[in-house]
Amino acid sequence: MQLLRRLRDSLSLTLRAYNRFQEPGGDIRYFSSTPDYPGTPELSAIQGSIKETFEKLRDLYSSLSSLDDSCKRFAAHVSQVPQQDWAP
């Protein structure tokens, strides 16, 4: 469970960094078209790829969070089961 939480926490930091990246005024503006630089199809592809990657990371974060919740519930349940029930 500790590894799961470490992964989830690390992914959370990555997603927060991406949220700052995509905010208006964030670094994503370096990938945006301007009147002086209209952009290219490659630039649009890069933007789409970045967005798609982080959507997948958000889905992974949701899965990890759900798995962590399940593990917590299971651990709580197991801790309430009398040990005599575990004996062969």
- For the chain, domain boundaries: 2-32+39-80
Residues in the chain: 88
Measured in whole angstroms, the distance separating CA 39 from the mean position of its chain's CA atoms is 29
In the predicted structure, residue 4 carries a pLDDT above the cut 60: yes
pLDDT-based confidence at 29, cuts 50/70/90?
A: confident
pTM, to two decimals = 0.74
Percent of the chain with pLDDT over 70: 86
Name the packing angle between helices 41-80 and 2-22 (round to 10°).
150
pLDDT-based confidence at 46, cuts 50/70/90?
A: confident
pLDDT-based confidence at 9, cuts 50/70/90?
A: very high
Q: Tokens standing for 71?
A: 């593990």
Average pLDDT over residues 2-31: 90
Q: Whose CA is closest to 4, among 74, 51, 84?
A: 74
